[in-house]
Structure 1
């Protein structure tokens, strides 16, 4: 039986898990910044510029908090969480592309995909991974 310690013990027991989670948080913050940068520089004037610059990242925060955050208000199935992550984090990469940085956008997209894949692998408890290997294939 395991107890939820809020992930604190996980960082010490599995340092790669902690490093990957820190990277995930930094990617989330960067995506919000990219969305805002795109919104303010979208070529519009006045209120629409402010609405896009503030509203786009704000919408991303609300959707993330509802569905994809570690303590999300709603706990959907994994596929929906991954869709939300793809929309928000992919939207950040697309926004970076939109402000004229295609190489950086590609790098952010690749790092995001690898980070998300590694996070899902690390979330599987080590005992569960060991039990899966020990059981014969059917």
Structure 2
């Protein structure tokens, strides 16, 4: 019998928060694409920006990533995606949302990164 199959998956509150931060980042990039660009380009960026971020996350950062990276590489991918989402809110004229999202994402990322090293 496989011992890993019987052990339950343990999720911390930070893991749940990080999941919602990822979803919010993808939503933010989509909203930015639809709001910040003129009509023909808004569809391209509104669908393309979050799709690109989702592909990057799936390839490099997800728990079942296709391409394994060291912790520095994973952090870099996460900083690019979360930073882009925070910057999108800033460009849309919402500095409070940008700052709050950026700070929460950074703190959550630091907590998660420290957990990976222990």
Normalising by structure 1, we get a TM-score of: 0.77
Spell out, residue by residue over 1:76-97, the C-alpha distance to the aligned partner (whole angstroms, 9 max, x if none): 1111111100011111111111
Aligned counterpart in structure 1 of residue 22 of structure 2, from 25, 28, 32: 28
Displacement, 1:60? 0.3
Rounded Cα–Cα distance in structure 1 between residues aligned with 2:57 and 2:80? 10
Matched residue count: 115
Rounded Cα–Cα distance in structure 1 between residues aligned with 2:104 and 2:30? 20
Superposition RMSD in Å = 1.7
Higher Cα Rg, which structure = 1
Q: Which runs of 5+ in 1 are unaligned?
A: 12-17, 126-138
Considering fraction of residues, name the structure with more helix: 2
- The residue number in structure 1 matching 2:10 is 10
- The residue number in structure 2 matching 1:103 is 96
Q: Which runs of 5+ in 2 are unaligned?
A: none
Displacement, 1:121? 2.1
- The residue number in structure 2 matching 1:19 is 13
Q: Is it true that 1:44 corresponds to 2:38 in the alignment?
A: yes
Rounded Cα–Cα distance in structure 2 between residues aligned with 1:96 and 1:112? 14
Spell out, residue by residue over 1:27-81, the C-alpha distance to the aligned partner (whole angstroms, 9 max, x if none): 00000011001000113112x1100000000000001111011110000111111
4+ aligned runs moved over 6 Å, structure 1? none
Spell out, residue by residue over 1:81-120, the C-alpha distance to the aligned partner (whole angstroms, 9 max, x if none): 1110001111111111111110110111011110011112
Normalising by structure 2, we get a TM-score of: 0.89
Alignment map for 1:1-138 (pairs within 5 Å): 8-11=8-11, 18-46=12-40, 48-125=41-118
Rounded Cα–Cα distance in structure 1 between residues aligned with 2:37 and 2:30? 13
Rounded Cα–Cα distance in structure 2 between residues aligned with 1:30 and 1:9? 24
